[in-house]
Amino acid sequence: MTNQPPPVVVGVADDQPVVVQYAVAEARRLGRSLRVVHCWAMPSIGAEAYIAADTTTIMRTEAERVLDLARSLIVETAPDVDAEFVVEYGAPGNVLTEEAKGAAVLVIGSDDLPWFERFLGGELSGHLARTASCPVVVVPEEVPAGSGDGGVVVTIDGETSAAGPLRYAFEQADARGEQLHVLYAAPAGTLDADLERYRATLAQVVAGWQEQFPGIDVLRSTSAGGASELCIEATAHAGLVVMGRHQGRSPFALVRPIARAVLRDAQCPVVVVPLDYGRDRTDSMSD
């Protein structure tokens, strides 16, 4: 048994250089090792009995090829990063659920349609977005990760606990040396008087976190309107957008219109943070 800190885990579905590069940067930011995982499986239960051995061999070879692409990229661009490469047999949702239990953060891509559909409405949504024991970062392959100049944006919409997302956002802004924008999305139709109350509450909450992270430049804003529209707009200029996992007992609590819209249309990496993130630390902050 070792006491190694949890690694950054990246699940690669295919040749996804931007996703891998984001995971490499995250491993450096956190000072952690990197675990690169590719999953492969037969299309249905019992399919092994009906598929030729040659086909199985081809699938395994393809899985190794995908992993080799990630390995080559990391060796060429980040030889200093301690990385391991693993091919796992099984459905991505099941495999990555287990991986998340021992991860500091789990990074996946949003450009591969089967993965994206699972994340929004199927296996990954149920097993990862709702219950993953670590933050889950979704990286759009078509947009260079971290290319925005708006720093880190954390969105609070009144339906999630603020402590976990705020802690993660402050940590990211601190590690990146960037500005943090705390955006409170008030419900549409909120009266001006209520907006002022929200602004005062937000200022008080943020002040407590600034005491723990005094070197971070923090911008606060409160807007009334559609939370999903505000989040999507934020992704157009941010390097990272942080969202809290929605409360609720439904196994598809995250699969709400706001989450579906933001993850579908995001122009920068988006991370969904468990509400209890950081609770194992000594922390007197309340939600």
Specify if 25 maps to a domain.
Answer: yes
**81 shares its domain with 34:** yes
Specify if 147 maps to a domain.
Answer: no
Specify if 76 maps to a domain.
Answer: yes
d(CA 92, CA 115): 8
Residue 190: pLDDT over 90: no
pLDDT at 26 (0 to 100): 95
pLDDT at 196 (0 to 100): 82
Q: Which residue has the higher pLDDT, 250 or 37?
A: 37
Residue 1: pLDDT over 50: no
Residue 185: name the closest of 255, 246, 131, 248 by CA: 246
- 78 phi and psi angles, rounded to 5 deg: -145, 60
Mean pLDDT of 22-41: 93
Mean pLDDT of 113-130: 49
Residue 197: pLDDT over 60: yes
Helices (H), the chain: 17-30, 53-77, 92-101, 113-121, 123-124, 163-176, 192-212, 227-235, 257-265
Percent helix / strand / coil, the chain, rounded to 5: 40, 20, 40
**160 shares its domain with 209:** yes
**132 shares its domain with 167:** no
Specify if 281 maps to a domain.
Answer: no
Average per-residue pLDDT in the chain?
78
Domain count, the chain: 2
pLDDT at 148 (0 to 100): 64
Contact 255, 121 (CB under 8 A): yes
**186 shares its domain with 231:** yes
Beta bridge partners of 88: 39
Specify if 287 maps to a domain.
Answer: no
Residue 220: name the closest of 170, 282, 168 by CA: 170
pLDDT band, very low/low/confident/very high, at 109 (cuts 50, 70, 90): confident
Specify if 117 maps to a domain.
Answer: yes
d(CA 20, CA 237): 21
pLDDT at 225 (0 to 100): 65
String of DSSP letters for 103-122? -SEEEEESSSHHHHHHHHHS
pLDDT at 5 (0 to 100): 92
**162 shares its domain with 239:** yes
Specify if 235 maps to a domain.
Answer: yes
Q: Which amino acid appears at position 99 of this protein?
A: E
Q: Domain limits at 238?
A: 152-273
**31 shares its domain with 110:** yes
Contact 134, 177 (CB under 8 A): no
**168 shares its domain with 232:** yes
pLDDT band, very low/low/confident/very high, at 138 (cuts 50, 70, 90): confident
pLDDT at 6 (0 to 100): 95
Specify if 285 maps to a domain.
Answer: no
